[in-house]
Structure 1
Amino acid sequence: MSDMAPQASPAGHDDSPGSPVRIGVLAPLTRPGWTEAGQQLLAGVELAVDEVNESGGIDGRPLELLVRDTAADPQRAEAAAAELDALGVAALAGEYHSVVARAAAGRADALGLPYLCTSGVLDALTDEPTQWVARLSPAQSVGWRLYADFLLDAGHRRIAVAAQPSVYWAAGTRIVREHVAPRGGSVIELDPVALGPAGVCDALADSGATALLLLVGTPEPAVPLVRAVRSDPRLGEVLLGAPAGQPEFAQWAELLGADGAGIPFLRYLPARLGELGSRVEGLLRQRLGAAPSFVAFEGYDTVTVLAEVLRTHGTERKRVADAWPQLAVEGTRGTVRFSRAPGIGVWQWAWPPVQITDRDPAAPDRFRVLRTAAP
């Protein structure tokens, strides 16, 4: 367990009346990061900050964002966390990529800097249990087991995965394999780097698998893989799946059109948004000029939770970290409460709503909810 002893005030910390309350935000805003995800996250964060400040800020003090681009680089995230710590932020927030969020969480824990992780899902977000880190997104094992059940229920027992080398993709492969094996399923691993799109198609055709999970980055190599499979007459009955959510973003439809439809993925939204969620959806749509993704809602909820902590418990870091289990905050997707979930070393919202969704083959710009799951 991390040391919860009071921390010295950082050099840049300023609690004088009227001074801004600073929050550090991490997001992938340049390649090779999923920049659309970063932009959606930031849109939600900024909308919530605007609303907090319009309603009086934090006890009359404005909320100020210090945004840092991680570019999907764990080392950049660690360096940014250290920089933001020195600048006196009251808390750290954000990040979409799970491996990058894990690096940020480890550094925040070591610094005694409260970190509310927005979207990273790796079960092991930190090496050891910590009081400093909380998470809004569900653990990977929760969502991916639900996804594996969806595949099994659809009759898929022999499942192939095209997975790039990554702690995240390896964890996903393991979760699916361990979940389907007791139910008569099996997982075949294909190396998209070594095989290339044509080689993946050949191996898939020989494997007898009825589903292929795309555990790869986007647009490369996901887009060429989809095109190759869709154009191969041997694979017309193979289901393509993308549990990590690549089809959520507009670029997917722009690059793939109809080929990108009918590929189920995970998203973290309820079956129907409530009053707050509907209002925020409209405002995010105006801000983005397009429909918001679940990542934008995660960004909004992150600031909503942090603002409540800062208003009710103060801006001193230890008070913020001590407050995680005491919160009940109405977010866009339900009431956020943090607890200790089995096998999870951070304070966890257990659990956000989960959907399995795809783009409608009849209208690729429209989503179909295939299943709404209650973890």
Structure 2
Amino acid sequence: MSGMITEVGPAGRGEMDACVRIGALAPLSRPGWDEAGRHLLAGMELAVREVNDAGGIAGRPLELVVRDTAADPHRAAAAVDELARLGVAALAGEYHSVVARAAATRADALGLPFLCSSAVLDALTEQPTPWVARLAPAQSHGWRIYADFLLAAGHRRIAVAAQPSVYWASGVRVLRDHLAPRGGTVTEIDMRESTPASVCDALVEGHATALLLLVGHPEPAVSVVRSVRGDPRLAEILIGAPAGQPEFAAWAASLGDAGAGVPFLRYLPERLGPLGTRVGTALRERLAEAPSFVSFEGYDTVAVLAEVLRSHGTDRARIAESWASVSVEGTRGRIRFSRTPDIGVRQWMGAPVQVVDRDPARPGRFRVLRSVPGYAGHRPG
């Protein structure tokens, strides 16, 4: 894999000093969501190539030092330690929230700047930290938008098929807190004790009108979708996947037409501007398939870090101090970071949020069902 560095010995120190290095974390193997990791890395690598084509960082080439987290928090924390020893100026990336939380905690302890690309868990760190910033919208924001979509579509009896995870539990809490005052209910189906057939029975017994998949992909998500789609008792039920499983080609390949009409969250604007359009074309060529929102997040992460490195140099403390003054045109809008209540890291408040599904008439095409351009009343600071 391009950018994959496994060891740098003393003989390579001069070459290292000639480069500016960013540590890149991504799930590139199972049980991680490796398709998301591949898209994330493609976006970061494209941005690095463009930075270097434009002269690098003050004449020095920019280079990624890539580590595969494989969705393992312990592996991610160890990677952060290693990357810090290798002298990277900053960390970038990660998709899985629980893994990103482990990386952010370790980066905070080491004083290593970390720009998180895709993880949305609100509590990315237990305490406020100056070292971490994030591009993806906080889960509480995106999932409330998803809950409003459900209410507008007439769904108030919601069932969730959930696996144990801090991320899934946080999502259930957001949904329940937002839906309950508006007359909605959320019933959990514990997938540790359920089969796809028993999920169907629970949906019928509970008179649910929507089932949300808070589970891993491909399994058990694919088996649950097939079972629900094949049950005539559930012909009218909505299947949803707020975490974004249907975004990727593997979902369509596994489920075909059965995977259409499953709304999910995506972090793209309704229309890309000139930069986003150009980057999207390059990403499609690089991936040999349609780029996901995750690949745009990867590109934007490196674009922000490159601008910070040009303006503030490679000193880690100065990089962290710069989060408050960042203003970079990204593929999905101008990126600035703010402090927000109850979130301990600096947050891009202007990230667009969509609820999207695959069109049942053409599963290869996405339909935008709801679109929010950014947080209302955003003020950088």
Unpaired segments ≥5 residues, structure 2: 1-9, 376-381
Residues 214-244 of structure 1, C-alpha deviations (whole Å, 9 max, x = no match):
0001001100000000000111111000000
Counterpart for residue 207 of structure 1? 206
Alignment partner of 1:291 is 2:290: yes
Taking the TM superposition and a 5 Å limit, the aligned residue runs for 1:337-352 are 337-352=336-351
- 1:19, 1:323 → 2: CA distance? 23
Counterpart for residue 228 of structure 1? 227
Counterpart for residue 8 of structure 1? none
Aligned to 1:190, the other structure's residue is in SS state strand
Matched length: 365
- 2:224, 2:15 → 1: CA distance? 55
Aligned to 1:47, the other structure's residue is in SS state helix
- 1:168, 1:13 → 2: CA distance? 40
> What letter corresponds to residue 203 of structure 2 in structure 1?
L
Aligned to 1:346, the other structure's residue is in SS state strand
> What letter corresponds to residue 207 of structure 2 in structure 1?
G
> What letter corresponds to residue 364 of structure 2 in structure 1?
D
Aligned to 1:149, the other structure's residue is in SS state helix
RMSD (Å) for aligned C-alpha atoms: 1.5
Displacement of 1:351 after TM fit? Answer: 2.9
- 2:79, 2:312 → 1: CA distance? 25
Displacement of 1:317 after TM fit? Answer: 0.2
Counterpart for residue 5 of structure 1? none
Displacement of 1:110 after TM fit? Answer: 0.2
- 1:48, 1:13 → 2: CA distance? 25
Aligned to 1:345, the other structure's residue is in SS state strand
- Go from structure 1 to structure 2 and tell me whether the alpha carbon gap of 1:258 and 1:16 turns closer, same or farther (over 3 Å shift): closer
Counterpart for residue 189 of structure 2? 190
Counterpart for residue 6 of structure 1? none
Displacement of 1:16 after TM fit? Answer: 9.4
Determine if contact 1:268/1:294 at 8 Å carries over to the other structure: yes
- Go from structure 1 to structure 2 and tell me whether the alpha carbon gap of 1:156 and 1:246 turns closer, same or farther (over 3 Å shift): same
- 2:246, 2:267 → 1: CA distance? 14
Aligned to 2:343, the other structure's residue is in SS state coil
Determine if contact 1:161/1:214 at 8 Å carries over to the other structure: yes
- 1:174, 1:359 → 2: CA distance? 27
Determine if contact 1:13/1:88 at 8 Å carries over to the other structure: no
Displacement of 1:12 after TM fit? Answer: 12
- 1:297, 1:323 → 2: CA distance? 22
Aligned to 2:195, the other structure's residue is in SS state helix
Displacement of 1:193 after TM fit? Answer: 2.3
> What letter corresponds to residue 64 of structure 2 in structure 1?
L
Displacement of 1:287 after TM fit? Answer: 0.4
Taking the TM superposition and a 5 Å limit, the aligned residue runs for 1:119-198 are 119-198=118-197
Aligned to 2:100, the other structure's residue is in SS state helix
Determine if contact 2:333/2:350 at 8 Å carries over to the other structure: no
Displacement of 1:274 after TM fit? Answer: 0.1
Determine if contact 1:355/1:369 at 8 Å carries over to the other structure: yes
Alignment partner of 1:368 is 2:367: yes
Alignment identity in percent?
70
- 1:134, 1:74 → 2: CA distance? 19
TM-score by length of 1: 0.95
Determine if contact 1:13/1:87 at 8 Å carries over to the other structure: no
Determine if contact 1:324/1:338 at 8 Å carries over to the other structure: yes
Residues 79-114 of structure 1, C-alpha deviations (whole Å, 9 max, x = no match):
000000000000001000011000000000000000
Counterpart for residue 328 of structure 1? 327
Residues 285-336 of structure 1, C-alpha deviations (whole Å, 9 max, x = no match):
0000111000000000000000000000010000000000101000000000
Unpaired segments ≥5 residues, structure 1: 1-10
Counterpart for residue 242 of structure 1? 241
- 1:257, 1:229 → 2: CA distance? 14
Aligned to 1:218, the other structure's residue is in SS state coil
- 2:66, 2:16 → 1: CA distance? 23
- Go from structure 1 to structure 2 and tell me whether the alpha carbon gap of 1:67 and 1:300 turns closer, same or farther (over 3 Å shift): same
Counterpart for residue 302 of structure 1? 301
Aligned to 2:205, the other structure's residue is in SS state helix
Displacement of 1:15 after TM fit? Answer: 9.6
TM-score by length of 2: 0.94
Determine if contact 1:218/1:246 at 8 Å carries over to the other structure: yes
Alignment partner of 1:32 is 2:12: no
